[in-house]
Amino acid sequence: MENVDVQESDLVDFIKSTDPLPLDPALDNDHLQNLLRGHPYHSINVRDEVEEVYSDLDSVEERLEMVDAIKNPHNLFGNPVEEE
């Protein structure tokens, strides 16, 4: 089994602590399959659904900051790993 360093584990913990968007769970499998296959028309439908959910959120700015933090490869989560 491969060891996971602390930084990666902290990122996973941060992602798990983020509430998922309330998308239609009946469409989860369809969304995943179409995104993996790269169907552009499906991406438009998902984008429309996400935009609708975002329009109902109270804390859109906070949500976008969390997403930006997750996708930024320069962000460190937790304590940096010290080299010996």
**Rounded distance between C-alpha atoms, residue 48 and residue 28, angstroms:** 15
**Rounded distance between C-alpha atoms, residue 69 and residue 7, angstroms:** 14
pLDDT digits (tens, 9 = 90+) for 8-41: 678 888 888 888 888 888 888 888 888 788 777 7
Cβ proximity of 7 and 78 under 8 Å = yes
pLDDT digits (tens, 9 = 90+) for 50-75: 888 888 888 889 988 988 888 888 88
Two tokens, residue 81: 């790993």
| Cα-trace Rg, the chain | 16
pLDDT at position 29:
87
Cα 55 to chain centroid distance, Å, stands at 18
| DSSP element (H, E) containing 13 | helix 6-17
